[in-house]
Amino acid sequence: MKIVVSGSIAFDYLMRFPGRFRDHLIPDKLDRISVSFLVETLTRERGGSGANIAFNLALLGERPILMATAGEDFAEYRAWLEQHGVDTSAVRDISGVYTASFFANTDVENNQIGSFYTGAMAYAKGYRLAEALPVRPDLVVISPNDPTAMSELAEECHQTGVPFLFDPSQQVIWLDADFLVHGIERCHLLVVNEYEWEMIAKKTGLTLDRLTAVGKTVIVTHGGEGSRIYAGGERFDIPVCPVTRVVDPTGVGDAYRAGLLKGIASGFGWDLCGRIGSVAAAYVLEQQGTQNHHYTLPAFVARFRTVFDDEGALDRWLSVPEGA
Ligand SMILES: Nc1ncnc2c1ncn2[C@@H]1O[C@H](COP(=O)(O)OP(=O)(O)OP(=O)(O)O)[C@@H](O)[C@H]1O
Ligand SMILES: [Mg+2]
């Protein structure tokens, strides 16, 4: 199955301040802030929803095509993704800017001061699927990116009859009802977490019943409580995969989506697709960052079978070479 994953590519620059921000802010001088925090640790993590989903799909043996825009600092990241099996030929290099970057400083009380630099992501608009690849994909993922780019791609998929998974994620919080309705009306699958679903319902007045009645599949993730898949008039309750330790929840949603997509690409039923998502998410929870975990397909299947019963369905992943 030819899957195109569109969405952001970003770096996360994460700092830890070994003190308390509030000890350095003077309440009656907030109109003249000039503070500098001396930090002892800085890590740079590879991220961005598009890249995360594609990375996880590649670990699962697919060869997803990442459609995105990146900046002058992307060469090493591109090599990393390629090395793990992501097709980056549709990642457009934008000269003169850096890749989107999130800079966050966290103090000992877990208060955070952050800035998000959009950089090359702001150039995603105007980049059409027809330009990104010469052949028609089987499925497109529209994950968080420049909002105009997301709407344009939803429209292009709709016009050309290419099914897509709509993953508005954090954009749900700050984008208006028109943007959400535009994407939801055109998508085949909608995947959101429970908070995002509540926001969508509140902003748009849409209900799960109405969406499923017109043939949409809606998937709502509930963190440590698992996920629910509403499809074909049925509800599938998907349990989580137990984890050995929760180190960092960032990126679980992206990994879950990749697992789900791998299930869809394999032609599996929803019960199985959801559980593959749960296991893919578990690996991310156990590591710092969103692309620092690793597994082989046989190891993934072995772990899956310690928790769930696939009735032998996953054997077919093991009989073909990875990436085939
Ligand atoms: N504590 C947990 N233990 C096991 N699995 C979990 C846990 N938290 C999340 N998951 C898995 O990951 C899936 C997605 O989680 P969640 O609903 O938190 O997504 P999210 O809020 O979009 O996350 P993020 O945006 O931070 O990546 C869940 O449905 C579940 O399968
Ligand atoms: Mg999320």
pLDDT in tens, 163-197: 999 999 988 988 899 999 999 999 999 999 999 99
Query: What is the number of the ligand closest to the CA of 276?
Result: 1
Look at residues 11, 12, 13, 15 and name the one whose alpha carbon lies nearest to residue 41: 15
Rounded to the nearest angstrom, the distance between the alpha carbon of 271 and the centre of ligand 2 is 21
Q: How far apart are CA 301 and CA 15, in angstroms?
A: 36
Whether the CA torsion 238, 220, 139, 215 is positive or negative: it is positive
The residue nearest atom 26 of ligand 1, judged by CA position, is 250
Ligand 1 atom with the shortest distance to the CA of 290: 27
Per-residue tokens: 147: 């909002």
The residue nearest atom 6 of ligand 1, judged by CA position, is 224
Structure confidence at residue 174 (pLDDT): 81
CA diameter of the chain: 68
Structure confidence at residue 72 (pLDDT): 98
> Which residues, listed in sequence order, are joined to residue 219 by a DSSP beta bridge?
191, 229
Structure confidence at residue 63 (pLDDT): 97
Rounded to the nearest angstrom, the distance between the alpha carbon of 228 and the centre of ligand 2 is 15
Structure confidence at residue 94 (pLDDT): 98
In a domain, 29, yes or no: no
In a domain, 105, yes or no: no
The residue nearest atom 22 of ligand 1, judged by CA position, is 253
In a domain, 315, yes or no: no
Structure confidence at residue 30 (pLDDT): 87
Rounded to the nearest angstrom, the distance between the alpha carbon of 14 and the centre of ligand 1 is 21
In a domain, 27, yes or no: no
Q: Report, as ranges of residue numbers, the positions in the chain whose pLDDT lies below 70.
A: 320-324
In a domain, 28, yes or no: no
Phi-psi region of 34 (alpha: psi -120 to 50; beta: other; left: phi over 0): beta
Rounded to the nearest angstrom, the distance between the alpha carbon of 222 and the centre of ligand 1 is 7
Ligand 1 atom with the shortest distance to the CA of 249: 26
What CATH number does the domain containing 197 carry? 3.40.1190.20
- Which helix or strand (DSSP H or E) is residue 310 part of? none
- Which residue segment(s) compose the domain that 176 sits in? 3-8+49-99+121-310
Residues with CB under 6 A from ligand 1: 193, 221-224, 226-227, 240, 243, 246, 249-254, 256, 278, 281-282, 285
Reduced to 3 states, what is the DSSP secondary structure of residue 91?
strand
Structure confidence at residue 126 (pLDDT): 96
pLDDT in tens, 75-126: 999 999 999 999 999 999 999 999 999 999 999 998 999 999 999 999 999 9
In a domain, 19, yes or no: no
In angstroms, how far is CA 178 from the centroid of its own chain? 22
pTM of this structure: 0.95
In a domain, 77, yes or no: yes
In a domain, 104, yes or no: no
Structure confidence at residue 320 (pLDDT): 64
Q: How many domains does the chain have?
A: 1
Reduced to 3 states, what is the DSSP secondary structure of residue 159?
helix
Ligand 1 atom with the shortest distance to the CA of 274: 31
Question: Which residues are within 5 Å of ligand 2 (an ion), measured at CB?
Answer: 169, 253
Q: Which residues are designated catalytic? A: 254
> Which residues, listed in sequence order, are joined to residue 12 by a DSSP beta bridge?
45, 102
